[in-house]
Structure 1
């Protein structure tokens, strides 16, 4: 890295004026603001096009935004801002792409020197970024450059060698959220007030998320029927034997079957039908905000963060993982705990779990199966010991 650092002083583009960083946005922004801030391959195309083609350009921009989720665009915008802020404080220019600059940046991230204060100075004693965070930020930088028609070679030794060293020195096993098991879920449901609209909605969200093995974005992205909203990511059909969910996830469209449960108190279909009945919704977003002191259901779709908050809140209220402190327990649960719970609890062929969760590989499914298959096969005894 010392040689790379030496080359920086000769090869990097010094910041002589404010770089074109109008795309850099603050950490807490709306989806619309993120979409406007991120670069587009079609930028400035309208000025040279006749009027009848400008509408196509605007529509193409919409398709470009649809190529990635709002959460992904928000993360890319935040990571790009982190990089450009560090460049500004270091008197370096982020444009054009320079592998040496990026190599120094990921080094700063690994050492905790990439974080800055409001005054623009580096924060002393800042916590180093994890390897996963560094890799995500590098992906965001590469993507942002590609959207500007620029190319950053991740295999350049100034990046690849430094990243390999960071992995070897700092890589750690991934920290997984705890799975919500059936007995946990039942206890969590008991903390909800079934005499309120909010309680009925939350009950349906928990049971449907668990039984369907759904991502939090898939839960709140559901509509009552097909093609009922522009931001919908799927819809619900109620059949005699259960629910049929048609979902647009990370791997494309898929159908998820959610069968009826063995008891009304834990049946996801019953929970969904009860929510429909009392919420009096027939079209548009399925899971909505409850307003008017809990007496009315608004038209707005819930944010996917609400799923994570619901899982964490009810898990804590139910005393799940009571062997830990309150602070430790709060870090153990998220929206993914529902997906992991189904994968860990369903005693069926792995292929069925993989299909339900929408995974492209069985290896990914196994990452969700917390403790399910541990010691099921004892190779020590099988070897004769």
Structure 2
């Protein structure tokens, strides 16, 4: 890969690159289309999958096909009036309410963390390092993900050398890449210590037992409890989280990695955060995006924070 391709490749997020590649492959291999495509073939492709896929999935497929044509120097057929009209008709004939993962309530978060702490205590008594590692990692994953409102890919990108944590005070986390960081400058986030459900202590407990000094914070543990060197794949987080919730006796199918983000947004809204503070903390730039995550029907009780200042929860 030459320098030009390297920098162009770095401009596209890994998740976007994978999803675009899969969409183009679906068009060519699964459907049997030819590239470069015509507006007519794109329209027929939409028709064939109109009843199978959501309108958002179809839009994502169009974005991938459009990007392929543009990058290869061909006219973009997805911008043709025929394709736009077809998409509008599909949306009218197949209206669907967007399905969202349930917001993780503070009660369910507490229940899950308590179950993991019990597992950790039992593992320590039995001198079972694999189970202790798994429990400590899962507690840290849940609490950092919830209180920072991180996406799955942001959790996967966290690195030990980019985090400073002090027990009883707080932690600062730096992300070199994130969806909201359009300029690619990197973003620093702060999180205070809490009297309960503390992400700072959970992080310290995890890296201490894991002996991690550099590299990804959250890593895969194999069936024998061996800790890998590579970061968890963000796409595997849904399965991991649902296993954690199921083990705690919760309805795991309701939850996904977005449940942590929605849970925090709903908690913050219920505790008097204004929209500007919430958007700054989580990293939303668009009010509509923020409102999609707030479940107004849920109200949480206050949680005492150390230090008791909301501004330390706000991203730099």
Q: TM-score range by the shorter chain?
A: 0.7 to 0.9
In structure 2, the CA distance between the partners of 1:291 and 1:161, relative to structure 1 (3 Å rule), is: closer
**Partner of residue 66, structure 1:** 10
Alignment of 1:1-385 (within 5 A): 58-85=2-29, 88=32, 94-111=34-51, 128-192=52-116, 193-194=119-120, 195=123, 196-225=132-161, 235-239=162-166, 241-247=169-175, 248-252=177-181, 253-263=186-196, 266-291=197-222, 293-294=224-225, 296-321=226-251, 329-330=252-253, 332-346=254-268, 347=271, 348-371=273-296
8 Å contact from structure 2 (residues 112, 245) kept in 1: yes
SS of structure 1 residue aligned to 2:2: helix
How far apart are the structure 1 equivalents of 2:54 and 2:289? 21
In structure 2, the CA distance between the partners of 1:171 and 1:269, relative to structure 1 (3 Å rule), is: same
Q: CA deviation at 1:190?
A: 2.6
8 Å contact from structure 1 (residues 201, 287) kept in 2: yes
How far apart are the structure 1 equivalents of 2:282 and 2:170? 17
How far apart are the structure 1 equivalents of 2:247 and 2:222? 23
8 Å contact from structure 1 (residues 218, 249) kept in 2: yes
Q: CA deviation at 1:87?
A: 5.5
8 Å contact from structure 2 (residues 65, 78) kept in 1: no
Unmatched runs of 5 consecutive residues or more in structure 2: 124-131, 300-316
Rg comparison, structure with higher value: 1
**Partner of residue 310, structure 2:** none
SS of structure 1 residue aligned to 2:56: helix
1:118-166 Cα offsets, whole Å, 9 max, x none, are xxxxxxxxxx222111111111111111121112143422211111111
- What is the number of equivalent residue pairs in this alignment? 278
In structure 2, the CA distance between the partners of 1:85 and 1:280, relative to structure 1 (3 Å rule), is: closer
The structure in which a higher percent of residues are helix is 2
1:270-302 Cα offsets, whole Å, 9 max, x none, are 1111112111111122222335833x5332222
Unmatched runs of 5 consecutive residues or more in structure 1: 1-56, 112-127, 226-234, 322-328, 375-385
In structure 2, the CA distance between the partners of 1:361 and 1:96, relative to structure 1 (3 Å rule), is: closer
How far apart are the structure 2 equivalents of 1:340 and 1:310? 18
How far apart are the structure 1 equivalents of 2:110 and 2:298? 23
How far apart are the structure 1 equivalents of 2:87 and 2:64? 15
TM-score, with structure 1 as normaliser: 0.68
Q: Which runs of 4+ in 1 moved over 4 A?
A: none
8 Å contact from structure 1 (residues 191, 314) kept in 2: no
How far apart are the structure 2 equivalents of 1:201 and 1:85? 39
